Amino acid sequence: MATPSDEMNTKLTWCRFEEGDHTWDDLSKMIFVEDTSHKCPTYVHQTPPCQGSCPSGEDIRGWLAIVRGEEQPPQGMDWREYAFRRSTDANPFPSMMGRVCPAPCQDGCNRNEVEDFVGINAVEQYIGDNAIEKGYKFTAGPDTGKKVAIIGGGPAGMAAAYQLRRMGHGATIFDDNTKLGGMMRYGIPGYRTPRDVLDAEIQRIVDMGVETRLKTRVGVDVSLKKVEKEFDAVLWTVGCQSGRGLPVDGWKDTPNCVSGVAFLKAFNEGRMQVTADKVVCVGGGDTSVDVVSVARRLGHIEQTNPTDRPELVVRDGFVAHDTAVTAAREGADVTLTSLFAKSEMMAAEHEVHDALTEGVTILDGVMPLEVIKGADGRATGLKICDCTMDGMTPIPTQGTERVLEADLIVSAIGQGGDLTGLDKLDNGRGFIEADKFYQVPGKAGHFVAGDIIRPHLLTTAIGQASVAADTIDHYLKNQEQAKRPKVDVHHFSLLKKMEEAHLAPQHFDAHAGDMRGTAGADYAVHNYEDRSFASVIPSTELFLGHFAYTPRVKRAAEVPSADEVLGHFKERLIGLQEAQAQEEAKRCMSCGMCFECDNCAIFCPQDAVYRVKKDQSTTGRYVATDYDRCIGCHICADVCPTGYIKMGMGE
Q: Among 174, 154, 157, 155, which residue's Cα sits nearest to residue 223?
A: 174
DSSP letters for 511-541 = TTS-TT--TT-TTS-TTEEE-TTT-BPPGGG
Q: What are phi and psi of 183, to 5 degrees?
A: -65, -25
Whether residue 351 sits in one domain with residue 215: no
pTM score of the predicted model: 0.90
pLDDT for 321 equals 85
Q: pLDDT at position 120, please?
A: 98
pLDDT tens figures, 130-158: 999 999 999 999 999 999 999 999 999 99
Residues 253 and 397 in one domain: yes
pLDDT in tens, 76-107: 999 999 999 999 999 999 999 999 999 999 99
Query: Does 454 map to a domain?
Result: yes
Average pLDDT, the chain: 90
Q: Do residues 263 and 186 share a domain?
A: no
Local confidence band at 495 (pLDDT 50, 70, 90 cut-offs): confident
pLDDT in the model for residue 9? 52
For residue 1, what pLDDT is reported? 42
- 270 and 407 in a single domain? The answer is yes
Percent over 90 (pLDDT), the chain: 72
% residues pLDDT > 70 (the chain) = 92
Q: Mark whether 399 and 253 lie in a shared domain.
A: yes
Q: If we measure between CA atoms, which residue out of 311, 282, 294 comes closest to residue 414?
A: 282
DSSP-assigned states of every residue in 310-350: HHHHHHHSS----GGGGGG-B--EEEEEESS-GGG-SS-HH
Q: Euclidean distance between the first and final Cα of the chain, in Å?
A: 37
How far apart, in whole angstroms, are the C-alpha atoms of residue 264 and residue 266?
5
If asked whether residues 499 and 625 sit together in one domain, one would say yes
Amino acid residing at 31: I
pLDDT tens per residue across span 110-131: 999 999 999 999 999 999 999 9
Beta bridge partners of 363: 337
Q: Which helix (H) or strand (E) element contains residue 80? A: helix 79-87
Top pLDDT among 525 and 513 is at 525
**Is 553 in contact with 651 (CB distance < 8 Å)?**
no
Q: Are residues 235 and 251 in the same domain?
A: no
Dist. CA 490–CA 495, nearest whole Å: 14
365 domain-assigned:
yes
Q: Are residues 195 and 104 in the same domain?
A: no
| Short-list 206, 227, 207, 205, CA closest to 216 | 227
Judgement on whether residues 254 and 379 belong to the same structural domain of the protein = yes
Query: For residues 626 and 503, is the Cβ–Cβ distance under 8 A?
Result: no
Domain assignment present for residue 289? The answer is yes
Indicate if 25 and 62 belong to the same structural domain.
yes
CB atoms within 10 A of CB 478: 6
Q: Exposed, middle or buried by CB within 10 Å (0-12, 13-18, 19+), for 496? A: exposed
What are 340-384's pLDDT values in tens digits?
Answer: 999 899 998 889 999 999 999 999 999 999 999 999 999 999 999
Q: What is the pLDDT of residue 651?
A: 47
- Structural domain contains residue 338: yes
- CATH code of residue 434: 3.50.50.60
Q: Which residue has the higher pLDDT, 421 or 453?
A: 453
- Cα(221)–Cα(546) distance, integer angstroms: 62
Residues 521-546 pLDDT 10s: 677 777 888 898 888 999 999 999 99
345 and 254, same structural domain? yes
**Per DSSP, which regions of 191-315 are E strands?**
211-214, 233-236, 242-243, 257-259, 278-283
Name residues whose C-beta falls within 8 Å of residue 244's C-beta, 6 or more positions apart in sequence: 259, 411, 413, 414, 415, 416
Out of 24-33, 322-331, 489-498, 604-613, pick the least confident. Answer: 24-33
What range defines the domain where residue 422 resides?
Answer: 147-241+417-476
- Look at residue 19 and tell me whether its pLDDT is greater than 80: no
Residue 85 lies in a domain: yes
Q: What's the half-sphere exposure (Cβ side, CA atoms, 13 Å) at 181? A: 25
* 4 has pLDDT over 70: no
* Residue 501 falls inside a structural domain: yes
Q: Specify if 486 maps to a domain.
A: no
Whether residue 489 is contained in a domain is answered as: no
Select from 429, 449, 476 the last residue of a domain: 476
* Domain count for the chain: 3
Residues 129, 183 share a domain: no
